[in-house]
Amino acid sequence: MPQTKVLFYREVDGRVPVRDWLAELQRKNRKAFAKCVERIQRLAALGHELRRPHADILRDGIYELRVRQGRVHYRILYSFHGRNRAVLVHALTKEGRVPDGDIDLAVKRMKALEQNPEAHIYQEDQDGQTNQNK
């Protein structure tokens, strides 16, 4: 199976919600951040084959990367865009189930991306340069 390219969703105003969430998590909890990065790397390696306990499907084509650090549960919501592209669309810290509102937001973002991928896909080259239209 070819490697899955992991991309970030970008808002029209330029914000990149999951990247921003990860940056904040890195400042607050380096161990949790490292676990989230490891989970994203696992998604890149396994793509559609990634399963519980590391990932699960929620609904409407939205999946979750599952990370636990101590008693805190972190979730990164994503969806597949084409065969080998996963787009990280939302992230949260949760106590119980992932709230419906968070899933709805992820679905809304994926619909916007499907209508206009160039406006909503963000990624960085290996040198860290922004390349938003790949």
Note the Cα 87 to chain centre separation in Å: 6
27-54 pLDDT tens trace: 999 999 999 999 999 999 999 999 999 9
User: What is the domain count for the chain?
Assistant: 1
What integer pLDDT is reported at residue 80 of this predicted model?
97
Range of the domain at 48: 5-122
pTM over 0.95: no
Q: Which own/partner contact pairs does 49-57 have at CB distance under 8 Å and 24+ positions apart? A: 49/1
Q: What single-letter amino acid sits at 115?
A: Q
| Residue 134 in domain | no
What integer pLDDT is reported at residue 127 of this predicted model?
47
What integer pLDDT is reported at residue 56 of this predicted model?
97
| Residue 112 in domain | yes
What integer pLDDT is reported at residue 2 of this predicted model?
73
| Residue 131 in domain | no
Q: Is 29 exposed, middle or buried (0-12, 13-18, 19+ CB in 10 A)?
A: middle
| Residue 129 in domain | no
Q: Is residue 1 scored above 80 in pLDDT?
A: no
| Residue 68 in domain | yes
62-118 pLDDT tens trace: 999 999 998 999 999 999 998 899 999 999 998 889 999 999 999 999 999 999 999
What mean pLDDT comes out for the span 2-12? 94
What integer pLDDT is reported at residue 96 of this predicted model?
83
| Residue 128 in domain | no
| Residue 127 in domain | no
Measure the CA angle with vertex 109, ends 108 and 111; round to 5°: 65
